[in-house]
Amino acid sequence: MFNEKGSKNRKNNNSEKSEERRRRMEVERAVVIGGGASRYALKPARIKSEDILICVDVDAESTVEMKTTGTNGRPLIRMECVKQAIILFIHNKLSINPDHRFAFATLSKSAAWLKKEFTSNAESAIASLRGLSATKSSGRADLTLLFRAAAQEAKNSRAQNRILRVILIYCRSSVRPTHDWPINQKLFTLDVMYIHDKPGPENCPQDVYDSLVDAVEHVSEYEGYIFESGQGLARSVFKPMSILLSHPQQRCAQDDLDIPKSLAKKVIVVDAASAEDHYNGNSVQTISQ
């Protein structure tokens, strides 16, 4: 089954990759010890603006109803939930840096452009989503054309001192994605949001998830993240999408992620024997970590 914390469940080479990453970070880090404490000086690096290609699965499974209801009182379908999550993602990402840009693609049997020109205009980007709709069942999902287009766009982005990221939103519970892509070409970073049904006689979401993990590891220049949701709840899509706001150049390994935390588990309100505010004499409640 899936790891509850969203860990990638990587294969045997994961520990080797993690160790290699740690060694590289140690080389770049100078440690100065004095006064009983450690002080770290990190090598300065420019955080580049992102070109973000969002690819949405338009297979018939994207029309599956969720447990969450919309404003009209009817259950949301996955496609509606995905659109809302993308719109929120775009607004939040641009509030962090208005220089980020977005383009869109769809995935059926293979990938196709929905909006090829990258834009930092939120209204223009969101308008592209209005034409997004599901198709019939595709039977297979080949990511090769998506990776090929991303690689070309990544070269264009680099020429402008930017980086490219692909966010794939995948909705199929029994179709494992495939690709034909050389392992030594890591020109962009791949993130995945996987929305699926529960395991059953005709579904193999764990196998699909493992294939998506392999794809992330295969193509990603920086640390790529993958999240999954089989609960049918909108919040199980919105929360991971909020984590994907993180910039690839500033990420820790996903296995080291410990967010989001539940406030109920994180903080405990102390007994109402209120502490006195040392500054203004007001009565305050203390919170214990």
126-144 per-position pLDDT tens digit: 998 888 888 888 889 999 9
1.10.760.10, 3.90.190.20, 3.40.1030.10, 3.40.50.410: which CATH number matches 47-262? 3.40.50.410
**Average per-residue pLDDT for the chain:** 82
pLDDT: which is higher, 261 or 249: 249
- Buried/exposed 118-146: b ≥16 CB within 10 Å, e otherwise: bebebeebeebbeebebeeebeebbbebb
Q: What's the CA gap between 275 and 273, in Å, rounded?
A: 7
pLDDT digits (tens, 9 = 90+) for 169-191: 999 999 999 999 988 889 999 99
| Mean local confidence (pLDDT), 177-206 | 93
Over its C-alpha atoms, the chain yields an Rg (Å, rounded) of 22
Closest-CA residue to 177 (of 159, 160, 190, 162): 190
* Single-letter code of the amino acid located at 236: S
| Mean local confidence (pLDDT), 211-231 | 95
The tokens of 115 are what?
Answer: 């909006």
Residue 258 has pLDDT above 80, yes or no: no
